Amino acid sequence: MRRIRITVAYDGTGFHGWQIQPGLDTIQGELQGVIGKIEGRATEVAGSGRTDAGVHALAQVAAFSIENPIPVDNLRQAMNRLLPRSIRVTSVAEVDSEFHPRFAAKAKTYQYRIWRAEICPPLQRFYVCHHPYPLDEARMTDYAPLFEGEHDFSAFAASDEKDALGATKVRRVFASSLWREGDELIYQARGSGFLKHMVRMMVGTLIEVGKGNLDRGALLERLRPGYPGKSGPAMRACGLRLVSVEYEQQS
């Protein structure tokens, strides 16, 4: 049995997220369907994490096990022939049989892109969040690094079916920054892992900062354990993209 690691880029528009759901189009479902055809049997594909409906990825990492001896380059070509054009496998490698893309991941980087001009170009509308309203961008840029470090991000997490397990919502954010490029305001976060809607709620909080509704103390209060409410709001999924997943040994 061979363990295969793939890097996948996808346009999340029109998909109900990564995780397979009966009767719905998902990224995991498309990949499992294609690999099943190549392998001749149902094959489970594990991802580094679940992206929500409408979220995009430049370099999602996934893995699966097959018996087919097909060379990795030929496997990549075969998968891309069978997949919809909104999903592309950019690299394929054979890895250790114990490799799991979620448990082995050391860091992930997400970007959220906000279109600030009055008019959003039609070709951009599925890949940015349009927000042409007044914001204090300098203040937002100054506050963005406040997310760095190890914090309880409970206030920045949507309800999840895993909540019943009592798993910790403490995460470490290695870098958090915001900058302007032309008509786009770009937020980027690199961390050990992210909770459901966490980045979208972090950006929503920075929007509230830009509107003048939150000061430094109010933002930091939301990062303290036991904060009673939710921060945000969660911004639209279309502006979010998974940029990269890092491992100790890159294949």
Decide: helix, strand or coil at residue 224: coil
The pair of structure tokens assigned to 147 is 């997310």
Neighbours of 204 (CB within 10 A): 21
State how far the Cα of 227 lies from the Cα of 37, in Å rounded to an integer.
Answer: 49
State how far the Cα of 24 lies from the Cα of 157, in Å rounded to an integer.
Answer: 24
Residue 88 bridge partners (DSSP)? 9
Secondary structure (H, E, C), 17-78? CCCCCCCCCCHHHHHHHHHHHHHCCCCCCEECCCCCCCCEEEEEEEEEEECCCCCHHHHHHH
In terms of C-beta density within 10 A (0-12 exposed, 13-18 middle, 19 or more buried), how is residue 167 classed? exposed
Closest CA to 190 of 123, 242, 233, 122: 242
Q: Amino acid identity of 142?
A: D
State how far the Cα of 149 lies from the Cα of 197, in Å rounded to an integer.
Answer: 19
Residues labelled catalytic: 52
Sign of CA dihedral 129, 132, 138, 142: negative
Q: Amino acid identity of 225?
A: P
